[in-house]
């Protein structure tokens, strides 16, 4: 089964899927093994692997180690074309459709495509929409794109719809890692209403209660990163909050 179908089946069966984001950067050297072990035993459905900036040359080794230890799929959530390697089960083939920087709409993707073909990595076409979560995100800095304001709901809906009509298989509403404010429940409800593809929500999700609200509002996939780096034991509770159909 493809990873996309695995995710869709998980969403159908459990109500939503729970993905833990691992930033395989130097700063997380110590934490990674613990996160993978907890993830394996806490009802997490997959790992996203990726970061905005990697501060040493050990990235590939870390991803290989994650692949060797993980019992669940590992999916590249790329900060850039330099993060592609043979260890992934699939990758989000993202385009930052909230921005107007051609390099992140099509430039990186063109550089990536031949490598992806050669490595035969499953691609999941994903429309990535950056929303202002109240602090300047690394995605904003690195991509040179302006996030959509949280209160411009019509603009967010229009971007998500455009992504769907462009043939994306998933839409990712991102408030940015460590966001002060996660994507609002009203935004999730409004976007869910017009989409018929899975909706990924991430950025600033810091408790099982908040996560539960997002799922009730219509999130199909929940992503947490920062909270797990400090409190890996919270995964179980978050997984329970995400998997509402299993209760």
Work out how close the CB of 84 gets to ligand 1GP at its nearest, in angstroms, rounded to a whole number.
Answer: 19
Residues 133-152 that bind ligand 1GP (CB under 6 A): none
Work out how close the CB of 71 gets to ligand 1GP at its nearest, in angstroms, rounded to a whole number.
Answer: 22
Among residues 57 and 72, whose Cβ is nearest to ligand 1GP?
A: 72
Work out how close the CB of 117 gets to ligand 1GP at its nearest, in angstroms, rounded to a whole number.
Answer: 27
Among residues 84 and 175, whose Cβ is nearest to ligand 1GP?
A: 175
Report which DSSP code applies to 148: B
User: How many residues of this chain bind ligand 1GP (CB under 6 A)?
Assistant: 14
Separation between Cα atoms, residue 191 and residue 79, nearest integer Å: 25
| Terminal-to-terminal C-alpha distance of the chain | 26
Neighbours of 167 (CB within 10 A): 9
Among residues 147 and 202, whose Cβ is nearest to ligand 1GP?
A: 202
Work out how close the CB of 114 gets to ligand 1GP at its nearest, in angstroms, rounded to a whole number.
Answer: 27
Q: Which of 216, 202, 135 is nearest to 171 (CA)?
A: 202
Residue 141 parent element (H or E) = helix 138-143
Among residues 43 and 202, whose Cβ is nearest to ligand 1GP?
A: 202
39 is an interface residue for ligand 1GP by CB under 6 A: no
Name 46's bridge partners: 19
The whole-angstrom distance between residue 154's C-alpha and the CA centroid of its chain comes to: 23
The beta strand positions in the chain, using DSSP E, are: 17-22, 46-49, 74-76, 90-96, 122-130, 170-174, 199-202, 221-224
Among residues 15 and 178, whose Cβ is nearest to ligand 1GP?
A: 178
Question: Which residue lies nearest ligand 1GP, judged by its C-beta?
Answer: 202
Work out how close the CB of 204 gets to ligand 1GP at its nearest, in angstroms, rounded to a whole number.
Answer: 5
Tallying the residues shown for the chain, one arrives at 247
> Phi and psi for 202 in degrees, rounded to 5?
-150, 165
Residues 6+ apart with CB under 8 A from 207: 227, 234
Work out how close the CB of 172 gets to ligand 1GP at its nearest, in angstroms, rounded to a whole number.
Answer: 7
Among residues 109 and 224, whose Cβ is nearest to ligand 1GP?
A: 224
Residues 171-230 that bind ligand 1GP (CB under 6 A): 174, 177-179, 202-205, 223-227
80 is an interface residue for ligand 1GP by CB under 6 A: no
Separation between Cα atoms, residue 121 and residue 98, nearest integer Å: 25
Q: Tokens 């940015």 sit at which residue?
A: 176
Among residues 55 and 247, whose Cβ is nearest to ligand 1GP?
A: 55
Give the footprint of ligand 1GP on this chain (CB under 6 A): 21, 174, 177-179, 202-205, 223-227
């Amino acid at each position: 089964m493809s990873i996309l179908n695995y995710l869709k089946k998980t969403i159908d069966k459990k109500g939503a899927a729970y993905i833990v984001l691992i930033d395989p950067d130097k700063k997380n050297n110590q934490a990674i093994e613990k996160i993978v072990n907890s993830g394996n035993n806490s009802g997490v459905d997959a790992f996203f692997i990726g970061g905005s900036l990697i501060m040493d040359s050990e990235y590939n080794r870390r991803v290989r180690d994650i692949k060797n230890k993980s019992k669940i799929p590992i999916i590249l959530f790329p900060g850039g074309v330099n993060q592609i390697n043979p260890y992934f089960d699939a990758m989000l083939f993202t385009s930052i459709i909230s921005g107007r920087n051609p390099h992140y709409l099509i430039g990186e993707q063109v550089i990536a495509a031949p490598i992806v073909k050669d490595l035969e990595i499953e691609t999941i076409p994903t429309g990535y929409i950056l929303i202002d979560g109240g602090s300047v995100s690394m995605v904003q800095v690195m991509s040179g794109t302006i996030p959509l304001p949280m209160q411009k709901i019509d603009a967010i809906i229009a971007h998500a719809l455009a992504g769907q009509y462009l043939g994306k298989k998933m839409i990712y509403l991102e408030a940015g890692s460590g966001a002060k404010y996660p994507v609002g429940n009203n935004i999730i409800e409004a976007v869910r209403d017009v989409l018929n593809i899975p909706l990924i929500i991430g950025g600033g999700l810091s408790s099982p209660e908040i996560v539960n609200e997002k799922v009730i509002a219509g999130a199909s996939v929940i992503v947490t990163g920062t909270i797990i780096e400090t409190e890996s034991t919270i995964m179980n509770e978050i997984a329970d909050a995400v998997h509402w159909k299993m209760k």
